[in-house]
Structures are given as C-alpha cells and as structure tokens.
Homo-oligomer: A and B are copies of this chain.
C-alpha cells in the first residue's frame, strides 16, 4: 500500500476505512483521471456504488481530488497536486482528454492562461480542457 494513503486521510481528519484506502490508492497509482465507473469496475464490486459516490464527494470536499469537466456527461476526478484544502481548490492546470481512449491527463506543468472575462462576472474558477488524440493513440 502506498505510504501516502494513511497520511493523507489523517491529515484531512478522515477515518481510515477500507474503501477510502483502496480508492485513494487507485488515484495514487493511476496516472490519468478516474470516473466513477472506472472505480466501480476496477474495484470489482468490492464496494457499494453508494459508497463510491460518497467517497468521491468527501475527497473533493477535503481537497484530495478535483473534478474535471467534460462534454459527455461523465465527470472525472484526479488527485490534487497543489496545496488544496477543505473547500479551497487550487488546481490551476490544464487537462487533456483523449477522444480515442478516453484517458484524461492532468497537465500539471501547463497552467491555465489568463482570460479576460467582461466586467460584471465574478470569476472564482477557470477550467481548461483540451481534447484530441493522446500520444498512445496516434
């Protein structure tokens, strides 16, 4: 088991449970992002669907993972790398979603460019999602 797992859960004042450990481990092992369905399949019916929903929700609230918008009604989640905390995410990086294999990448080193939103809007977050073909699918 990845050493960061228990630390992360403790740091966020979450009790150490089997489902949280296992799901967090999936995120730590996996390079790309995970959708709810991915977790359900990979865990092989080990946990109830409801538990997965609640775990993902908890992780997002605590700033352990962040959600990535999509145009196909299937939100994905990925580990927060920055110093995100309860209610405050700072994942200002660009995401890439492969149209072919579906893999979603966090481009941690590509930060979201400044966007000139007209006055009147109070912007709290800007999501940038690029799509196309990834290196594995060329």
Contacts and interface: CB of A to CB of B under 8 A. Distances in A.
B127 A132 contact: no
A135 interface: yes
Given A67-B71, A127-B71, A110 B116 contact: yes
Contacts of A39: none
Interface residues of A, number: 39
A122 B110 contact: no
Interface stretch (A2-10, A16-24, A40-48, A72-80): A72-80
A138 interface: yes
B115 A94 contact: yes
Contact of A68 (B71, B94, B96, B133): B71
Contacts of A129: 69, 126-127, 129
Q: Which are the 8 A-B pairs with shortest beta-carbon distances?
A: A120-B135, A124-B132, A69-B71, A69-B69, A113-B113, A123-B132, A122-B133, A122-B132
Interface of A: 67-75, 94, 96, 99, 105, 107, 109-110, 113-118, 120-135, 138
Given A68-B71, A73-B75, A115-B130, 14 more contacts: A69-B70, A69-B71, A70-B70, A96-B121, A110-B116, A113-B113, A113-B115, A117-B130, A121-B130, A124-B131, A125-B130, A125-B132, A126-B130, A126-B131
